[in-house]
Amino acid sequence: MKELAVTNLCKTYIVNKRQNNVLRNVNLSIHEGEMVAIMGPSGSGKTTLLYTISGMDEASAGSVDFFGKELFHLKPNEMSDLRLKEMGFVFQQMYMLKNLSLYDNIILPAYQSPEGKSKKGRLQIQQRAKMLMQKLHIADVSDNGVNEVSGGQLQRACIARALINQPKIIFADEPTGALNKQNSIEVMEELANINKDGTSILLVTHDMKVASKCERVLYIEDGDIKEEIQLGKWQTGCDGLSRERKLNEWLLKLGW
């Protein structure tokens, strides 16, 4: 089975001639179809890890085998191609274009891919966008502008946009960080559904409720993965409270 395998990943920032070793020989793997959360104290390197694994930020050392491709050996155009087609991104600061409708924001990444160059391809993209908007319950606001929808609707549009090119994996940084409790629950349910359909998900969160929906949780501290816990696949109707309790006990032991 293919996987995303990270080996001895290091990231060092140098600010004012001072070296900050933010990631120190991180090793981890995400299997195809897995949904994994990264938790850890503030400043432990969670976001840096997500950015470095996804090639958005340059690593100082180490390697990332992206489902069979050595990420850091790719040429810049191969890297941007791979990121466009095989990775989806959901961030807390939702990078949506304010002068476009939700629908146009969603189809934009696909129109930039080779599929978007032909009329037939564009039709397929439009169909996929409509299907995704229906699935994520935002079809009725598809023509609204980014400022004319709720935070939850906007975040679901971000998820639709991340999915438009049918990526292998979604990287999500605090996907529910800006949402209220109800919207947060809904967005997590959507992510769990997407994962059920086969897309791998790697997300960073401070929220135990969010992490408890994941199959596995990694704990990062001082730039290294210290521990991990297996919670098993989330299923509708499974005992959410007992998963949360298990996660809570584990985090308390780790001094979180």
Is residue 15 a contact point for ligand ATP (CB under 6 A)? yes
Rounded-to-integer distance, Cα 59 and Cα 8, Å: 10
Is residue 43 a contact point for ligand ATP (CB under 6 A)? yes
Is residue 44 a contact point for ligand ATP (CB under 6 A)? yes
Applying CB under 6 A, among 16, 18, 42, 252 the residue interacting with ligand ATP is: 42
Label residue 93 exposed, middle or buried (CB < 10 Å: 0-12, 13-18, 19+): exposed
Nearer to ligand ATP by C-beta: 13 or 245?
13
- Number of Cα atoms under 13 Å in the Cβ half of residue 205: 26
Rounded-to-integer distance, Cα 232 and Cα 247, Å: 12
Is residue 193 a contact point for ligand ATP (CB under 6 A)? no
Rounded-to-integer distance, Cα 198 and Cα 185, Å: 20
Residues 143-172 that bind ligand ATP (CB under 6 A): none
Name the minimum Å distance from CB 178 to ligand ATP. 13
Rounded-to-integer distance, Cα 172 and Cα 242, Å: 25
Name the minimum Å distance from CB 152 to ligand ATP. 22
Name the phi and psi angles at 249, rounded to 5: -60, -45
Rounded-to-integer distance, Cα 175 and Cα 90, Å: 6
Is residue 128 a contact point for ligand ATP (CB under 6 A)? no
Applying CB under 6 A, among 30, 33, 37, 46 the residue interacting with ligand ATP is: 46
Is residue 22 a contact point for ligand ATP (CB under 6 A)? yes
Number of residues that bind ligand ATP (CB under 6 A): 12
Rounded-to-integer distance, Cα 249 and Cα 256, Å: 10
Name the residues that contact ligand ATP, by CB under 6 A. Answer: 13, 15, 20, 22, 40, 42-48
